[in-house]
A and B are shown apart, each in its own frame.
Chain A
Amino acid sequence: MNTMLITGTRKGIGRYLVDYYIERGYRVVGCSRSAPDFEIENYQHHELDVADEKAVAKMVRAVAKEHGGIDVLLNNAGIASMNHFLLTPLRTVEQVFATNVFGTFNFCREVSKVMAKRKYGRIVNFATVAAPLKLEGEAAYAASKAAVANLTQVIAKELADFNITVNAVGPTPVATDLIRGVSDDKINDLIGLQSVKRMGEYRDISNVVDFLIQPESDFVTGQVIYLGGVS
């Protein structure tokens, strides 16, 4: 049974991915800051903040020890801040970067050490169309995800010799709590910037992840795949 580690699984896209990959035969280990309200066979949960370096190292080592390795890492945990940048406190920027960038960094580093031992691994990070579209009102969020995209591309090079691929998926708006505070008008404007003008669905994300993590995709690395025809 292959082991997949997904961050941010309590709700939203992460929660969907848990069900999706358990159904496809994976053993899934997830995490979030607060406890989930579900229990599923072949699913284990760790409560931690992805920005907590020590907690991440501990979790990854425990998972590797118990299951003999980690095949796939999905760095899904993320938070957003929608605000005019003139009104954004630095503290908010720090929090957004802590989860989105430092959290992704922590898990990439710890998990790829485990993957390197077996010379196999698939890592998928989470970007967003807000970065290439340079959306107003999302400076901190978009900048953090631009950092994730670049991190993805650099570490893809550094991990290639270990047969670990590192890619990112960049979703368009998907109806989750993350964008609940954004007005319908803004979402519609945003959808208007996409080539394919509709809301994103969970399945759009798992479809890209499926492709990136399949063993045959060993020649695909350092790519950021945006949905909805955004580039």
Chain B
Amino acid sequence: MRALCWMGAGELAVRQVPDPELRNGHDAIVRVRRSAACGADLSLLAGRGPAVGEVLGHEFVGEVVEVGPEVRRHRVGDRVVVCSSVSCGSCWYCRRELHSCCDNGSTDPEAGEATWGHPVAGCFGQPRAQGGFAGSHAEYVRVPYADVGAFAVPEPVSDDRALFASDAAPAGWMGADLGGVRPGDVVAVWGAGAVGQVAARAARLLGAERVVVVDRHPDRLRAAERHAGAETLDYRRVDVAAELRDRSGGRGPDVCVDAGGAADGARSLGDRLTGAPPRPAAVREAVHACRKGGSVVVLGAHPAVVDRFPLGMVTAKGLTVRGARQHGPRYIPMLLDRMARDELRTEYLATHHLPLDRAPEAYTPLRTRAPGCLRPSSTPLPPPPPPPHPPTTTPPLRQPR
């Protein structure tokens, strides 16, 4: 099959790679209908982590073409959206809906232990420490634990809308949920990318009185006003702290969500030369702005170590700081329901549509922050090729090696 491969620092190419195979009884093979490019991949592209030839992409919607013998909830032909992270559904963490903390979501748990002290959930299209599963900018994807991570898309929900139930929507919703947004709250969201857009919309749907989105891209801010019902602040033009104080009666926002993701790690030349860790500008601003006793939620892929974190402020103001990669399966069924009811319309987040053969271009508007860009999406060229294998069941694959 064809797939978008990482070929070296900053180098991408569409190449012929072997078709995926069922490797475990809980696997399914999904034929990709849409796959979105995510800003979190930019640091991968820049050249740390992947091996040459690894397939990128982790947000996708598609059609089941093959299932393993242990799969119960899906059948060949089902249209499904697949959670970007891979979790088992049956460990202590998964049973408490902390799916991104899954103990069994990686094929190389020792790599996770070496990096984070513990194994964490896997993710498609990431290096081995994060699972070791090929990505979704491809014609087909192997989906481990398909009963846990794949969700049937209700009929009225389009591919372009459902696509975002894979990653951006559960991550954004989780921001509002972990922050404990309640009716009457003032909520501030840093970052008007796809995750921030959904975090803002989620805060509105959970009853927030005011939602203020902070970013520097006018087109993204306009989208947050139009689609999420948020007020906006361009941090290049206004004093964000003063504005947030004014808009919350001097209290500060009840909940602050950092949805800036990897972009937050921008570093000055001086810091790069001295090797100083990046400074978490948005989180720092959020900790300063938040009301006493409020919550600061940190989302997304951050550098492992940051500098100049206002720790004293956390204790002095009695803040709750929470973070997570997305616990997708906790939210995706609810999000698909809301999508089916038109409460959550996410198709506007797909701003560029490309055939798979042009997928290498998908990351350019993300990298350059091109005006109007939220999430480029790619689709394997029609007409759909036949399944890689005839739909079949195979004997259980137990106890390998």
Question: Is chain B found bound to chain A in the same assembly?
Answer: no
B interface residues (Cβ-Cβ under 8 A, vs A): none
Chain A positions within 8 Å of B, measured between CB atoms, are none
